[in-house]
Chain A
C-alpha cells in the first residue's frame, strides 16, 4: 500500500522546504533557550496579571504553573513564547503546504498521469505522499527537539526539561500536524488544483485559529471553538508535571485517520480530468 519510492520522492522534492522549516524552528528554539537566563529575572506572574484575561487564557492555558520552581517557570516561559502559538502555527503551516499540495501539485504539473500510469493505486499515491509528509515533519520536529535538549544541558542557567517531556510535546505537535495534514489532504483530493486546495486548507486553518481565539474570549463561542484542533492544544501540564494528555493525542490521531480515509475515498472515486 505504501510505496517507499513515492515516500522518498516526496521527501527529496520537498527537501528545500524541510531545510527551511528545520532552520526556522531550530533558530527559534536556540533563541528561546539562550535568552532564558536573562528572561528568568522577570516576574512572569506579575507580567501576566497585567494582561487581559483572554490573553492569559490563550498563552497560559487552563493549567497555571506560575509561582512554582524554576523548571515550572521555564516551562511556562517556553509555553508562552513557543508552544502556545508559534509551534502549532508552524506545524500546521507545514502540513498545509505539504498535504494541501500533495496530490494537487502533481495534477497541476501534469505528473499525476505519469504516476498513475504505473501499477500504483490512487490510494497508494495519496497514502505514500502523506507518509512522506509525516516523515518530513517528524524529521523537522525531531531535530528541533534534539537541539533543544542539547542546548538546555549545555547552556548555564537553563533548567533541563526531562527528555520524556520534550519528546511528549514533540509527538503531540507531530500528531497535530498529522491531523491538520489529513484535513489538507482532503482538500487536495477534492480539488486537484494547487491554488484551490491550498486556499481551502488555508481558509480552514484560519477559521480554526479564529475559533480558538473566539473560544478564549467568549464562553458562548466554546461549542464552536471546541471543533478547532487548536482549542484542545494544552501541553503545559505535560511540560511541568509530565502528565500525558492521552485524550488530546487520541483526538489528533483520530482526526488524522479520518482525514486520510476521506481523502482516499474522494481521490479513489473521482475522475482525473
Chain B
C-alpha cells in the first residue's frame, strides 16, 4: 500500500506507575481497512485508544492519526474521527436525540439525517430519555454518535459489548458498509470469532505488548474449536485429518481439537456413525496460551504490517 497509514504508533509506551499499559507498541493501520485490536482484558487496548485520542499522554514513543501527531493536533484528529468509548455513558436527563444534537453542536453541525437512518437500522428509539435506556440501547446510541458524522476513521472500543446477537450482526454490517465507503474502522475486541468475521487485519495484544499482526487467512488458522463426539461404536483414535488432534478417547466418546477450517474434520466424521456432537470455541485466553505461551514471542505473519 502506498497511502499513509491512518493510524501509526512508534515504540509507544504508557505506564501507570509500575504497571505497564502498553510497551513499545508499533502499529500501522492502512486506509480503508477494518482493523481489529484483539486482546484479553487488561492487554492495553483501551490504553492505546486513549493515547490516540490524547486522553492519555505516552511516556515514550509517539502516535499519529490521519498523519497528525496525537499530542499536537488532537483537536483536528477528533474533528475527523468518530469514537465509541469502552464504557459508554451519556447525560441521563437528555433524550437520545438531544444528546446527538448536543454533540453535533460541538462539531458545528446540526443533527444529520444519517443519525436517524443509523438509529432506525439499529432499532433505537431516539426520543426516550437516556435514564430509561438499557445497556444495549446506550451502546447503540454510542455507535450512532460515533458514526453519524461523515468521518474518515472510526475508533471503536468493544463496539458490540452488551448487544444481543441480532444487533451484533447489524453492527458488523454497518462497519462493513463504512469500509465499503472508503472509511477506516479500528476496533478493539476480546472476541476472536468477531474479529475473524469482520476484520481485514488483526493486531494481537497481550500484557501491553504486540504479539502478532495477522491477515484474514492467518486469522482463520488461529481459530481452535473443541469437539466432543459420541459414536455408535468405538471412537476412532485418529481421524487422519491435518490440524485435528485427539485429546481424549474413552470407548465410544472422543474429544478433538480442530485448528482452522472445520470442513475436513466434518467430512472425516461423516464416515463414522456419530450419535452426538458438541462443540466449544476456545476463548481468546486459551488461544493465547496455545499459540503464544511466551509473552515475549512475536509472530509477524501479515507481511506488510506494523
Contacts and interface: CB of A to CB of B under 8 A. Distances in A.
Contacts of A120: 75, 78, 106
A272 B14 CA distance: 13
Given A109-B89, A111-B89, A273-B16, A116 B53 contact: yes
Point out which of A9, A109, A114, A119 has the most chain B C-beta atoms below 10 A from its C-beta.
A114
A114 B86 CA distance: 11
Given A3-B106, A111-B90, A114-B85, A121 B56 contact: no
B153 interface: no
A69 interface: no
B291 interface: no
Given A110-B89, A272-B50, A273-B16, A118 B103 contact: yes
Given A109-B89, A120-B106, A273 B83 contact: no
A13 B92 CA distance: 10
Given A114-B89, A119-B79, A273 B56 contact: yes
Interface string B77-115: 011010101011111110000000011011100000000
A5, A111, A113, A116, most chain B CB atoms within 10 A = A113
Interface string A207-236: 000000000000000000000000000000
Given A113-B85, A114-B89, A273-B16, A119 B55 contact: no
Contact of B55 (A5, A9, A12, A271): A271
A119 B89 contact: no
Contacts, number: 61
A109 B87 CA distance: 10
B76 A119 contact: yes
Contacts of B75: 119-121
Nearest to B74: A121
Contact of A119 (B91, B102, B107): B107
A13 B93 contact: yes
A23 interface: no
Given A116-B55, A119-B76, A111 B91 contact: yes
Interface size class of B (residues with CB under 8 A): 20 to 34
B298 to A, nearest CB: 28
Interface residues of A, number: 21
Contact of B57 (A111, A113, A118, A271): A271
B87 A114 contact: no
B106 A119 contact: yes
A3 B104 CA distance: 12
B186 to A, nearest CB: 14
Contacts of B93: 12-13
A5 B109 CA distance: 12
Contacts of B81: 117
B145 interface: yes
B106 A6 contact: yes
Contacts of A116: 53, 55, 78
A113 B55 contact: yes
Nearest to A115: B106
Contact of A114 (B16, B90, B92, B107): B90
A5 B106 CA distance: 7
B103 A114 contact: yes
A118 B90 contact: no
Interface string A106-131: 00011101111111110000000000
Nearest to A4: B105
Interface string B136-175: 0000000001000000000000000000000000000000
Interface string B23-61: 000000000000000000000000000100101110000
Contacts of B85: 110, 113-114, 117
5 contacts: A5-B102, A109-B89, A110-B87, A120-B78, A273-B56
Interface of B: 16, 50, 53, 55-57, 75-76, 78-79, 81, 83, 85, 87-93, 102-103, 105-107, 145
